[in-house]
Amino acid sequence: MESGIFFSDYRSDMALRRMPLQKVRTGLLLVGLVVFPLLANPYWLNLANQIAIATIGAIGLNILVGYTGQISLGQGAFMAVGAYGSGLLTVRLDVPFYLSIPAAALITAFAGLVVGLPSLRLKGLYLAVATLAAQQIVEFVVTHWDGLTGGTEALVVPAPELFGARMNTDGRFYWILVVVALAVALFAANLFRSRVGRAWVAIRDQDIAASAIGVNVFGYKLLAFATSSFLVGLSGALLAHYRSIVTWERFTIEVSISYLAMIIIGGLGTISGSFFGATLIVLLPAMINTLGRSLQDTAPWAATVLPYVQQGVFGLVIILFLVLEPEGLAKLWRNVKDYFRVWPFSY
Amino acid sequence: MAQAQTQEPLASTCLEVNGVTLSFGGVHALDDVALDVRHGEVFAIIGPNGAGKTSLLNSISGLYRPQQGSITYTPEPKAAPVSLVGRAPHKVAQVGIARSFQNIELFRGMTVLENLMLGRHIHMRGNVLSCGVYWGPQRREEIRHRAAVEDVIDFLEIENLRHQAVGTLAYGLQKRVELARALALDPKLLLLDEPMAGMNVEEKEDMARFVLDVNEEWGVTTVLIEHDMGVVMDLSDRVAVLDFGRSIACGTPDEVRADPAVIHAYLGDAE
């Protein structure tokens, strides 16, 4: 706590951004988000859009895993439900995307509720295996129910229209994604400074004490599954409309694992960590690719081994984080802030 | 059972435990236990290790479900009695029963303030939507209950710890925060499982004072498990003694101290 700053009412003491410096940083972030698309080329806009979608999904997963302590391997499945849900609503029923996306998110929330049922009895790794079953079932249904999903064929979703403009460029889609991602981040941050979020963290920390203090543990676990799945479905649905193509390969168990990597590297139980982790996991392969392309002429041999290096670096980064900073990028960011708060003094 | 030696007229029964039997497989943790706690008193449960004290507390707060017997709770004199057997723990909390644990069970990742705010959980109404939106009704609710929590913080003198993560606090302070969290629930009946275990003399004195203050100023009926006989005899209005899952005595501290069955359980026979 900074010295010399006093709060004289609860409202300002409970604000999301209490300190003047925090308000400045948030302002800078917003300005940066507005200025970015004016300066960036389509390549960077594409990456930014991917990051925004991944951030929404990672916040969703973090609510369940990082905050409530229920491990889930079903991230890919929930994204698939959101993506196919919204895609099919648009293609088959001509539902406009601003209705189909929330509808798909609600459908995913319901799916999450069903997948969450085993959490009444199962904890930890056992629950993870139960969610793994959900992942496999959804994959199977998507690839085999040809009549509904088109099976292994790709589902083509037309680019959405908003105010008469077709959202078919990275630049236009950027605005949708940034607004939704910011809203989701704000929503989640609010959750965890009020009643429902506290109950979730209580379940993670001490479920017996949580029940003894009056938290309906099973009810709140289901609520966490539903809320988390809603956001994950939202991210899947946005991905469907952004890519304008839905295929089952985008929603395999690998996706579940890379999202788990995001929130672990970013920081379990933090909103900012979800964003940091999503950024790293999206940028890392892209940066290695870029490096590969620039090396193509000077050192062709490097370019050929690069795809393998990419896999290795990915694993290495995760291991390094687990060893060096288990609390993730969010903690690193906190360390940086702490350092500069008292700079140039050490205390 | 011996006549209570209080000058006041007999208070009405707050908690009545009757014939409670609880077994885990072949182990009888509780065997036909009976006791009654009156409104407004400090009631101690004592007994050697493994006597079933904590099992009894867990049965009251809904964590265990006894196979036989009844546990009846009357929130206020002349209120309708509530049966606690088979009631889920969170529903036991909802009728105004709060507890602390023998091994501190705080929410370690949260601050003292957030732990205490959880004590207000049953009094709040916020749902996912109102909490996610926050502005408006939810903020008003949070502020209202923050004020209630501040009263408890004030009462237990932990103002300086408000924003600290509970995992970083010293043991004695964690015990105090756990009492605070239970008090934040605004309970009618408080169950304390060894609130002074592992404390030094000074910390014990503080805690004893808080327990008495809570009882006298807030009128909270208190049931506590304690091993320190000095504390038990000084604090409690009445004492129940358990031994091998059976209740062997119940009465004022002096009566219990003189009871041959209690002396037998604690010291054995002089043969």
Tokens at A263, concatenated? 């929130």
pLDDT band at B5 (very low <50, low <70, confident <90, very high): very low
Residues of A in contact with B106 (CB under 8 A): 205-206, 209
Residue A275 lies in a domain: no
Straight-line distance from the first to the last Cα atom of chain B, in angstroms, rounded to the nearest whole number = 27
Are the beta carbons of B45 and B225 closer than 8 angstroms?
Answer: yes
Distance from CA of B175 to the nearest CA of A (A): 14
Q: Which of B94, B108, B134 sits opposite A214 (nearest CB)?
A: B94
CB atoms within 10 A of CB A52: 28
Query: What integer pLDDT is reported at residue A201 of this predicted model?
Result: 95
Residues of A in contact with B89 (CB under 8 A): 208, 211-212
Query: What integer pLDDT is reported at residue A189 of this predicted model?
Result: 94
Longest CA pairwise span in chain A (Å): 67
What is the span of the domain harbouring residue A190? Answer: 17-253
Distance from CA of B46 to the nearest CA of A (A): 22
pLDDT band at A165 (very low <50, low <70, confident <90, very high): confident
Residue A259 lies in a domain: no
CA A229, CA A211: separation in Å to the nearest integer? 24
The answer on pLDDT for B101 being more than 90 is yes
Q: How many structural domains is chain A composed of? A: 1
Tokens at B20, concatenated? 């409670």
pLDDT band at A231 (very low <50, low <70, confident <90, very high): very high
Strand, coil or helix: A29: helix
CA B38, CA B189: separation in Å to the nearest integer? 10
Residue A2 lies in a domain: no
**To which H or E segment does residue A286 belong?**
helix A271-295
Any CB–CB contact under 8 A between A143 and chain B?
A: no
The answer on pLDDT for A300 being more than 80 is no
Any CB–CB contact under 8 A between B242 and chain A?
A: no
Are the beta carbons of B101 and B179 closer than 8 angstroms?
Answer: no
Residue A83 lies in a domain: yes
Distance from CA of B200 to the nearest CA of A (A): 25
pLDDT band at A164 (very low <50, low <70, confident <90, very high): confident
The answer on pLDDT for B19 being more than 70 is yes
Q: What is the pTM of this model?
A: 0.91
Residues of A in contact with B114 (CB under 8 A): 198, 201
The answer on pLDDT for A74 being more than 60 is yes
CA B87, CA A164: separation in Å to the nearest integer? 58
pLDDT band at B7 (very low <50, low <70, confident <90, very high): very low
**To which H or E segment does residue A57 belong?**
helix A42-62
What is the chain A residue with the closest CA to B127?
A: A196
Beta strands A245-246 and B82-83, pairing class:
unpaired
CA B262, CA B64: separation in Å to the nearest integer? 26
CA A235, CA A242: separation in Å to the nearest integer? 10
Beta strands A245-246 and B13-24, pairing class:
unpaired
pLDDT band at A2 (very low <50, low <70, confident <90, very high): low
Question: pLDDT (tens digit, 9 = 90+) per residue, A132-155?
Answer: 999 999 989 988 888 788 777 888
Residue A327 lies in a domain: no
Distance from CA of B259 to the nearest CA of A (A): 35
Pairs across A and B, CB distance < 8 A: 118
Any CB–CB contact under 8 A between B109 and chain A?
A: yes
Query: What integer pLDDT is reported at residue A315 of this predicted model?
Result: 81
CA A231, CA A226: separation in Å to the nearest integer? 9
- Residue of A198, A216, A221 for testing the chain B interface, max B β-carbons within 10 Å: A198
Residues of A in contact with B147 (CB under 8 A): 10
> Can you list the positions of beta strands (E) in chain B?
13-24, 27-38, 42-46, 68-73, 82-83, 97-99, 189-193, 221-225, 238-243, 246-251
CA B208, CA B175: separation in Å to the nearest integer? 12
State how far Cα B50 lies from the chain centre.
19
The answer on pLDDT for B8 being more than 70 is no
**To which H or E segment does residue A165 belong?**
strand A165-166
Any CB–CB contact under 8 A between B105 and chain A?
A: yes
- Which has the minimum average pLDDT: A60-69, A156-165, A174-183, B70-79? A156-165
Question: How much is the average pLDDT of B28-50?
Answer: 92
Under 8 Å CB-to-CB from B219, ≥6 apart: which residues? B40
Residue A306 lies in a domain: no
Instruction: For residue B137, say if its preceding peptide bond is cis, omega within 30 degrees of 0.
Output: no
Tokens at B255, concatenated? 């009566």
CA distances from B191 to A128, A156, A237, B188, B211 (A): 35, 62, 49, 10, 11
What is the chain A residue with the closest CA to B102?
A: A209
Say if the Cβ atoms of B93 and A213 lie within 8 Å: yes
Straight-line distance from the first to the last Cα atom of chain A, in angstroms, rounded to the nearest whole number = 12
Say if the Cβ atoms of A10 and B105 lie within 8 Å: no
Residue A295 lies in a domain: no
Residues of A in contact with B121 (CB under 8 A): 195, 198-199, 213-215
Residue A143 lies in a domain: yes
CA A234, CA A259: separation in Å to the nearest integer? 15
Say if the Cβ atoms of B132 and A269 lie within 8 Å: no
Are the beta carbons of B173 and B159 closer than 8 angstroms?
Answer: no
Say if the Cβ atoms of A209 and B101 lie within 8 Å: yes
CB-count burial class (<10 Å; 0-12, 13-18, 19+) for A291: middle
CB-count burial class (<10 Å; 0-12, 13-18, 19+) for A12: exposed
What is the chain B residue with the closest CA to A202?
A: B107
Question: How much is the average pLDDT of B158-176?
Answer: 91
Question: How much is the average pLDDT of B50-78?
Answer: 92
pLDDT band at A3 (very low <50, low <70, confident <90, very high): low
Under 8 Å CB-to-CB from B12, ≥6 apart: which residues? B38, B39, B74, B77, B78
Residues of B in contact with A205 (CB under 8 A): 106-110
Say if the Cβ atoms of B132 and A215 lie within 8 Å: no
Query: What integer pLDDT is reported at residue B10 of this predicted model?
Result: 61
Please state whether B50 falls in left (phi above 0), alpha (psi between -120 and 50) or beta: left
